[in-house]
């Protein structure tokens, strides 16, 4: 919903969970909101994602509509999600606590992504120095 977007405080609520809004997501969100305003200037629709069929209604866009746009693409929703999580780990350091907070991951998944990012950072010749973790990964509860 539009009310779930808090640009001023850089927060986005997804499924009732408040998450920090990173720079990339914030830019994409601002671009989408501008496109939405230009494309459907008179809509009173409260859902964030709308399309030609839903702009004049109050119902949400279907999962099929979102999935159909991705069909046949190399970048599936799942691959984009995984890539976004890995990029976050590479950009801000392999901190499983941050990954769990930003993406709402459980501890095992957050640790797996952090370990994967740590390996990529170690393998890269241009990698920045490793980020020190404030909490050791095996002690995350």
pLDDT tens per residue across span 17-28: 888 888 888 888
Are 113 and 91 contacting, i.e. CB atoms less than 8 angstroms apart? no
Give residue 30's pLDDT. Answer: 92
Nearest to 134 by CA among 87, 86, 108, 96: 96
- For the chain, give the number of residues: 141
* pLDDT per position as a tens digit, 49-98: 888 888 887 777 766 666 666 666 666 667 777 777 777 777 777 888 88
Element (H, E) at 108: helix 107-123
pTM: 0.53
Task: Provide the pLDDT for residue 135.
Answer: 42
pLDDT value of residue 89: 73
Confidence band, pLDDT 50/70/90 cuts, at residue 133: very low
The region of weakest confidence among 5-19, 30-44, 83-97 is 83-97
Task: Report phi then psi at 125, rounded to 5.
Answer: -70, -25
Judged by DSSP in three states, 102 sits in helix
- pLDDT at position 63 is 66
Closest CA to 36 of 21, 24, 49, 23: 49
pLDDT single digits (tens) 115-130: 887 887 777 655 455 4
Q: How many Å apart are CA 83 and CA 86, to the nearest integer? A: 5
The mean per-residue pLDDT over the stretch 31-42 comes to 91
The pLDDT value given to residue 65: 66
pLDDT for the residue 112: 85
């Amino acid at each position: 919903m539009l009310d779930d977007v808090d640009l001023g405080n850089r927060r986005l609520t997804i499924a009732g969970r408040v998450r920090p809004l990173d720079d990339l997501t914030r830019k994409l969100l601002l671009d989408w909101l501008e496109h939405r305003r230009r494309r459907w200037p008179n809509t009173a629709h409260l859902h964030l994602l709308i399309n030609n069929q839903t702009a004049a209604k109050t119902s949400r866009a279907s999962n099929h509509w979102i999935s159909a746009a991705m069909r046949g693409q190399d970048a599936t929703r799942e691959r984009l999600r995984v890539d976004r999580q890995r990029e976050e780990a590479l950009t801000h350091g392999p901190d499983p606590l941050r990954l769990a907070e930003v993406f709402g991951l459980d501890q095992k998944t957050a640790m797996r992504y952090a370990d994967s990012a740590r390996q990529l950072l170690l393998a890269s010749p241009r990698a920045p120095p490793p980020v020190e973790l404030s909490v050791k990964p095996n002690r995350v509860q």
